[in-house]
């Protein structure tokens, strides 16, 4: 009964008539999943326009506006791999190509259990829908108290240059768009667990836009994106209106914790679990550069 009660909390928050994620076993639900999978296979990204109806969107925007002062801002020079440069490689190599990254993140432990965004993040029907789209039997909320549910806040001049995500896929929901800039650009599937494809990455860093896709995301749009394998960025925000995006992070296996040094860099602090992992050491399951 608890799961059913959680499921009903999506009513009024999501346009269930257009996106029947509460009825995935029905014909309409199966058609939605297939349409999303088709879009994901072709573009490396799914965008569901107007996923949140207007009346709920106004509430969501107020919610992220209230949370935005909690954002920790960090300015740094970073390469696409969030790593140090490699003096053994030429300056033109992607590992030695650094750009300004300035943005803010509201950590998950600042987001209350009664907020709309946490209700959506923890909702079993929403999770089942996301899992079905990305081809997984099930997905799991992060055990990381900071990085599982996050609000990204970009004010004027903020940007997130070319990079990859730590996890294989990411789910985001824009709640507020800036007056200008803040465009999402990406190159789908440019790398894989088998190889980094540095040569093609270098072309993008040199300005080659032939393989790029650009999205004009709007408040209320839901995005499902394979960010671990697709190089992507958010262009600099213009104007005095902040750009707010909710990030719903899930993992294939339960118990996922992000790297302690990443938590320190993004949120300006570590949770106790990160401090323990830092003492004990941790490892990843793939060999990609970040």
pLDDT (tens, 9 = 90+) of the chain, 290 residues, equals 344 444 447 988 999 999 999 999 999 999 999 999 999 998 889 999 999 998 889 999 999 999 999 999 999 999 999 899 999 999 999 999 999 999 999 999 999 998 989 999 999 999 999 999 999 999 999 999 999 999 999 999 999 999 998 778 899 999 999 999 999 999 999 999 999 999 999 999 999 999 999 998 999 999 999 899 999 999 999 999 999 999 999 999 999 998 898 899 889 999 999 999 988 876 554 555 55
The percentage of the chain sitting over the pLDDT mark of 90, rounded to a whole number, equals 80
| 67, part of any domain | yes
- pLDDT at position 2: 40
In whole angstroms, what is the distance from residue 143 CA to residue 256 CA?
5
Is residue 84 in a domain?
A: yes
Structural domain count, the chain: 1
Q: 78, 113, 101, 107: which is closest to 270 by C-alpha? A: 107
CA 43 centroid distance within chain: 16
User: What's the domain range around 83?
Assistant: 2-278
290 occurs within a structural domain = no
Any domain includes 25: yes
- Return the pLDDT at 3: 42
In a domain, 287, yes or no: no
Q: Count Cβ atoms below 10 Å from residue 61 Cβ, excluding itself.
A: 18
pLDDT at 1: 36
* Predicted local distance difference test score (pLDDT) of residue 278: 87
- pLDDT score at 172: 97
Query: Has residue 147 been placed in a domain?
Result: yes
pLDDT score recorded for residue 150: 97
CATH number of the domain that 146 lies in? 2.60.120.620
Model pLDDT, residue 288: 56
- Contact partners, residue 46, CB within 8 Å, separation at least 6: 36, 39, 40, 133, 222, 223, 224, 225
Asked if residues 248 and 182 have their Cβ atoms less than 8 Å apart, the reply is no
């Amino acid at each position: 009964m608890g799961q059913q009660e959680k499921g009903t909390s999506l009513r009024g928050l999501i346009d269930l008539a257009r996106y029947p994620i509460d009825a995935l076993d029905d014909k309409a639900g199966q058609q939605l999943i297939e349409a999303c999978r088709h879009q994901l296979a072709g573009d490396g990204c799914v965008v569901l326009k107007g996923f949140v109806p207007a009346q709920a969107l106004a509430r969501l925007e107020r919610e992220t506006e209230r949370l935005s002062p909690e954002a920790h801002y960090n300015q740094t020079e970073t390469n696409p791999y969030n790593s140090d440069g490699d003096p053994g490689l030429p300056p033109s190599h992607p590992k030695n190509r650094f750009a300004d990254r300035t943005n803010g993140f509201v950590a998950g432990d600042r987001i209350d259990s009664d907020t709309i965004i946490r209700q959506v993040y923890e909702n079993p029907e929403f999770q089942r829908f996301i899992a079905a789209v990305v081809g997984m039997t099930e997905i799991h909320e992060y055990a990381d108290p900071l990085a599982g549910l996050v609000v990204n806040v970009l004010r004027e001049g903020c940007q997130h240059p070319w990079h990859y995500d730590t996890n294989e896929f990411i789910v985001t929901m824009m709640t507020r768009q800036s007056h200008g800039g803040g465009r999402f650009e990406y190159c789908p599937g440019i790398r894989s667990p088998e190889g980094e494809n540095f040569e093609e990455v270098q072309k993008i860093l040199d300005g080659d836009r032939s393989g790029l896709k650009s999205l004009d995301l709007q408040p209320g749009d839901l995005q499902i994106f394979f960010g671990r394998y697709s190089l992507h960025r958010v262009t600099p925000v213009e104007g005095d209106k902040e750009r707010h995006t909710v990030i719903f992070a899930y993992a294939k296996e339960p118990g996922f914790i992000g790297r302690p040094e990443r938590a320190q860099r993004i949120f300006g602090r570590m949770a106790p679990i990160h401090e323990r992992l830092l003492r004990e050491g941790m490892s990843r399951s793939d060999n990609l550069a970040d």
